Amino acid sequence: MRALVADDLDGDGTPEVYAGAGDMNVHALSATGELLWGIQGEPGVPSTLRTGEPFGDGRRLLMAGSGLTSYGGRSWLLDAQGQLVHLYGGLKSAAVQDIAAADLDGDGTPTVFVGTARGDLYAWAPDGKWPNPRWVRNFTRPVRALAVLPTQPGLIAVGADSGSLSAFDEAGEMAWTLSLGSAVTHTALVRRGGDTLLAAGCRTGEVFLVTLDGAVRARVDAGGALQEMAVADLDGDGGDEILAATDAPRRLTAVPSR
């Protein structure tokens, strides 16, 4: 199993579970664990699964990206019934690392952002076709993590192995960039005292808290190689804790919100 996401794509009030597996299939399960369907969207292991509304029409769709063993490095959209809605890419040998869909400029049309192991961030029109993305930016090293920033207008934040954390508007103009000194592998939005901040987790285990206009506010060290990061308000005080799973040492650290 390479990727998991739960969302109510069919809108019946109960989430389904979607799993990307090593058999190259995306599997859908009901909330009670019943297998609904499994389909192969394209040759390659669906190692990235996200959900969103890439057409801005209220239709929630599954956004899947090929990672391991992919030769195409493509991304595709599936509906709740497992029907292929659209395919992006032709990104030869570039494994997809993260996908996000957002209408950052509020014009009613979202953009589908795809970050790849070749270091490219592709911005696709929802119905865009290879080889004509809206724009491409290259980070020289693999792109690892995307985050949609709730600014006005919105921005897409991009973390890359080069250690850069950057934010772009929907037209592809860079709003700000930081060099964090170590590969930025995870990003998440964090609530702190009425503010929203961007947490950027680095491979070394350092987690930077960054304002949405690109200023480093704090840095904590999870003390090991970062494997996975999540945020949750564990103590219910209105501020999010940051959960960091590390290797060497293998442990789970909760960074308190205060």
Verify binding: residue 10, Ca ion, rule CB under 5 A: yes
Taking the CA atoms of 214, 51, 171 and 165 in sequence, report the sign of the dihedral they define. positive
Site for Ca ion in 168-227 (CB under 5 A): 170
Round to whole Å and give the CA distance between 218 and 208: 6
**Cβ contacts of 247 within 8 Å, gap of 6 or more:** 224, 225, 227
Residue selected from 7, 53, 79, 105 as contacting Ca ion according to rule CB under 5 A: 105
- In the bound state with Ca ion, the residue whose beta carbon lies nearer, of 79 and 105, is 105
Site for Ca ion in 112-171 (CB under 5 A): 170
Round to whole Å and give the CA distance between 180 and 207: 10
Q: What does the DSSP assignment read for 69-98?
A: T-SS--EEEE-TT--EEEEE---TT--EEE
Residue selected from 45, 46, 74, 103 as contacting Ca ion according to rule CB under 5 A: 103
Verify binding: residue 8, Ca ion, rule CB under 5 A: yes
Site for Ca ion in 24-63 (CB under 5 A): none
Shortest CB 180 distance to Ca ion, Å? 28
In one-letter notation, the amino acid at residue 66 is: S
Q: Which stretch binds Ca ion (CB under 5 A): 92-100, 103-111, 199-207, 226-234?
A: 103-111
Shortest CB 30 distance to Ca ion, Å? 8
Shortest CB 57 distance to Ca ion, Å? 13
Shortest CB 152 distance to Ca ion, Å? 13
**Cβ contacts of 23 within 8 Å, gap of 6 or more:** none
Residue 73 near residue 94 (C-beta atoms within 8 A): yes
H/E run at residue 150:
none
Residues that bind Ca ion (CB under 5 A): 8, 10, 12, 14, 103, 105, 107, 109, 170
